[in-house]
Structure 1
Amino acid sequence: MRPSASRRRGLVLALIGGLLPSAACSLVPGAGEGGERAPAEQRDGKGRAAPTEGVMCAEHGVLEALCTRCNPRLAAVFQARGDWCAEHALPESICPICHPERGGKPVVDVAQDGAPADGTKVRLKDAATVVAAGIETVKAELREGAGGVSTTAHLDYDATRLAHLNARSPGVVRALAADVGSRVAAGDPLVVIDSPEVGADRARLETARARVAIAEQNFQRQLALAPDGIASQKSVLAARQELDDAKGARAALAASLSVLGTPGRGAGGYTLTAPIAGVVTQRNATIGRLVSAEQILYEIVDTSAMWAELDVPEIDLPLVAAGQRVQLTLDGLPGRTFSGAITYVAPWLDPHTRTARARVPLENPDGLLRANMYGEARITAEARQAVLVPRMAIQRAKDVRLAFVRLSAHEFETRRVEIGISDGQRVEVKRGLRAGEEVVTQGSFLLKTETLKGSIGAGCCEAD
């Protein structure tokens, strides 16, 4: 009889005994057809490939950690359990030919959250089986002075050094002076546009200037005749008002035309110039094209500085504030570290990712940093103690993270853990482990499969 959920903590999942492969299948995440070596965080200390969560054996269609064709030593484990497809030399329960609906994976249906209960025990046949299976452990390490928050980051243009240039008045593009990739200085010409509206405004401006000249002459005449009584005070005031109106109309037209840039060829031509120094990254104008005032014709970026945008998880926000130093590594620039300080933390959260945006300005004098690069940022925070374990010691079942602690020579206990920051090779465990406990590294994936109800070889029995 299967025990109730309330008794799962005291259960022992008895393994008949098995052998964990000393090397995973030839293909690993990110590897090419030639089977490139797994990255460092997926290998143990002896350089062997460690089974990775959810990775399939591309050749045989089953989980690579359970593939008996690539790892023949595992075959005896499943044969002893009676879980064996002799025709295809694979475990019957995950044989993709006999059971294509399972997709080469164990059936997972343990609890409401899909993960084994905290404290579930796994017992191998004996200590010799542990050695033969290749299961290895390390002690959880307590590190003094640990602190900070690690999160993802991507690069973007510094918005204060980004310019979008649009047509000042509708017209036709007559000439282009810069293309994508051109380096321009502030004031350099970019595009010449002919606009009927501009031509009409310039004609009106000339009329307004003439009106001002005539009004000025009339006002001076009325002012000179007034002392002799030839011109009344009323006519002087009327002449003064006409002069002021003429000057106002002239100023309005001149101001309207001043935003166009420098005059171009023809009565209606005008030339748009670069508002800042930088690199042309977009050009949406072509000769002969009719453009409107709403259309962006050029984008210019000063790339001597960039912004790193950090996605800070909601749970870590109390540790993050403006002024904190940040160390940034980028996927596209391995071996390089960039540093800066947070200048802004958004007052709102993304409703989908539950993260807040933090901004770090970065100097980019050599142009290595490019928009949309991705990487990892470590934010310096208050120093504290932290329990660290190798990254490969943490397994995942649905949304629950697990670790396995050695209790005796051949018995292990499942722990639900909460993880924190990572330094690449090791990960912080905020809850679920104590410093000094022996945690399974190599072989943790196979132990996880044994804790899942309905998985390969898993059987529940009462603890002795």
Structure 2
Amino acid sequence: MKNSLALIVAVTVGTAIGAGGYHYLSSPLLTSDGDNGSVEKQPIYWVAPMDPNYRRDKPGKSPMGMDLVPVYEEGSGADDSPGTIKISPEVENNLGVRTAKVEQQPLHQQIDTVGYIGFDKDNLAHVHPRVEGWLERLYIKVEGERIEKGQPIYSIYSPQLVNAQEELLLALDRNKRTLINSAKERLRALDVSENQIDKLVKTRKVSRTVTAYAPQSGVIAELNVSEGHFVKPGKTILSIGSLEEVWVTAEVFERQATLVSVGDTVSMSLDYLPSKEWTGVVDYIYPTLDPTNRTAKVRLRFANPSEELKPNMFARVAIHTQNDQVTLIVPREAVIRTGQQDRVVLALGEGKFKSVEVKLGRLSDLDVEIVKGVEANDSIVTSAQFLLDSESNISSDFMRMTIYEQSASENVWAEGLVTAMNPSVRTVTIDHKPVEAWEWPAMVMDFHVADSIELEQLQPGTSLHFEISKIESGYRIVGIHVMGNASEQMDHSQHKGMGHSEHKGRGDKS
């Protein structure tokens, strides 16, 4: 009995001591100004990594299924400029913050696009009749037929040609040199060959029909008549094209057009000969843009001695731009683009970051030129910059437009995969995951795309986070965060850094 009572007392005392020790160790130590203790920091709120407007007072998941990130109240130093924030190494690691240096080097780019092979129009001959009449015989039957220079192409009956021949015979009968020369010149002007004129002089017999001959060798690019047709001057009977050189017409996006110059080297491959590559040059850059898809047309020239390149073939081309001007460049994924402002997040060291405004210049697939806002060797954030930018702007000196703040609260971020794109009407089809904020299930939808977003980043196969805004005609994408696409993954082994992403911001010109 005594042993049992002693055991009960021991357990009771031990429990009390353990509870007191746990309370002592787990409770924050509140100290006065004279104490040497510290207060345990508590998060002031939790925020979605991809949507700084989605905040909660406790841990949880964002609408895109990502863990909410705790935000602590951090005091800035007296020397820190407005907008400077500081995060602990643990939070920085959890966010996956990565940085890169602002580099000073030429902005080179390989522009990959597609094109269509066509005839070299500088060597395209069009055949027109000089008189009206009837085609008695057509020696060419189909387009694509090969023809040699001097080969007969058609015979025409024309009263005008008959009269011109009779005038020459009359001049010959009168034996007047002036009239003879004048009659011969008229026949030449009506496209009668020297052989036919000599034959007329020799035989003194008018030919009912006159034959026209090919002005050059090549293939029939166009055939517009048949035997028996009545034709008039100006009518294109046929066109003859040379295949010794060909043109390739390609299109580049508006922002890429400034990088292309006449004389740039171009490489080309064809689906029907995938193992062979042709080398050509940029021959001409058209001065206007297509108003529908905002692209610029360029003309490429390729030698074709073996005539393997055929008109209307589909080609894949890569334009190798040659710009040796040294400039400041940063990775495209480092830039936060909005309809009103472009920014990057500077990494100041010791866990300090600040969002700064930059002015952008030329753009390539991987990099973007910075005209103003940063200096060479500055360290900038290339991932997790959305959250850092949001926190920096809370205390920064940026002038945020009212419309920007209003639209942010009405928008929502989602995650999906681009399955189709229609540049002519600026729409994309996206297979997206559930959107909890709007109670949407996973489904495939069509979205309008804001004018501030470049369509070339929304190619089919692109995986991305995208910001949606409601409009009268449906839904519009006003911001994107490209995570990657199939082509980038395939090209990664060949092109350094092809696994890049780009951030586009809100804003719409419409």
CA distance in 2, matches of 1:129, 1:455: 29
TM-score if structure 2 supplies the norm length?
Answer: 0.47
**1:417 aligned residue:** 359
Name the aligned partner's letter for residue 201 of structure 1: Q
Give the SS at the match of 1:429. Answer: strand
Give the SS at the match of 1:392. Answer: helix
**1:167 aligned residue:** 129
Residues 255 and 362, structure 2, Cα contact 8 Å, conserved in 1? no
Residues 247, 407 of structure 1: alpha-carbon distance in 2 compared, 3 angstrom cutoff: same
Residues 246 and 309, structure 2, Cα contact 8 Å, conserved in 1? no
Residues 157 and 306, structure 1, Cα contact 8 Å, conserved in 2? yes
Runs of 5+ unmatched residues, structure 2: 1-43, 52-60, 72-80, 197-205, 394-403, 411-510
Which structure shows the higher strand fraction?
2
Residues 418, 258 of structure 1: alpha-carbon distance in 2 compared, 3 angstrom cutoff: same
**1:184 aligned residue:** 147
Find 1:280's aligned residue among 191, 213, 220. 220
Q: What's the CA shift for 1:413?
A: 0.9
Name the aligned partner's letter for residue 194 of structure 1: I
**2:160 aligned residue:** 201
**1:251 aligned residue:** 184
Name the aligned partner's letter for residue 184 of structure 2: A
CA distance in 2, matches of 1:247, 1:285: 34
CA distance in 2, matches of 1:210, 1:302: 39
CA distance in 1, matches of 2:290, 2:82: 33
CA distance in 2, matches of 1:443, 1:300: 60
Total equivalences in the alignment: 318
Residues 162, 449 of structure 1: alpha-carbon distance in 2 compared, 3 angstrom cutoff: farther
**1:211 aligned residue:** 170
Residues 171 and 193, structure 1, Cα contact 8 Å, conserved in 2? no
Residues 130, 193 of structure 1: alpha-carbon distance in 2 compared, 3 angstrom cutoff: farther
Find 1:433's aligned residue among 374, 380, 389. 374
Residues 403 and 415, structure 1, Cα contact 8 Å, conserved in 2? yes
* Cα RMSD for the two superposed structures: 5.3
Residues 454, 128 of structure 1: alpha-carbon distance in 2 compared, 3 angstrom cutoff: farther
**2:333 aligned residue:** 392
Q: What's the CA shift for 1:327?
A: 2.0
Residues 188 and 274, structure 1, Cα contact 8 Å, conserved in 2? yes
**2:49 aligned residue:** 19
Give the SS at the match of 1:177. Answer: coil
Give the SS at the match of 2:138. Answer: strand
Work out whether 1:326 is the aligned partner of 2:264: yes
CA distance in 2, matches of 1:208, 1:443: 90
Measured against aligned partners, the alpha-carbon deviations of 1:240-280 in whole angstroms (never above 9, x if no partner) come to: xxx245314432443234347997xx955344433222232
Measured against aligned partners, the alpha-carbon deviations of 1:329-351 in whole angstroms (never above 9, x if no partner) come to: 45968995735487x899xx659
Residues 261, 307 of structure 1: alpha-carbon distance in 2 compared, 3 angstrom cutoff: farther
Residues 262 and 270, structure 1, Cα contact 8 Å, conserved in 2? no
Structure with the bigger RCO (C-alpha within 8 Å, sep 6+) is 1
Residues 17, 177 of structure 1: alpha-carbon distance in 2 compared, 3 angstrom cutoff: same
CA distance in 1, matches of 2:388, 2:241: 53
Residues 99 and 382, structure 2, Cα contact 8 Å, conserved in 1? yes
CA distance in 1, matches of 2:50, 2:255: 37
CA distance in 2, matches of 1:442, 1:261: 77
Q: What's the CA shift for 1:15?
A: 8.6
Give the SS at the match of 1:405. Answer: strand
Measured against aligned partners, the alpha-carbon deviations of 1:103-157 in whole angstroms (never above 9, x if no partner) come to: xxxxxxxxxxxxxxxx9948587654554444433222333xx367988997765
Work out whether 1:141 is the aligned partner of 2:141: no
**2:436 aligned residue:** none
Give the SS at the match of 1:299. Answer: strand
Runs of 5+ unmatched residues, structure 1: 1-13, 22-66, 81-118, 217-242, 459-464
TM-score if structure 1 supplies the norm length?
Answer: 0.51
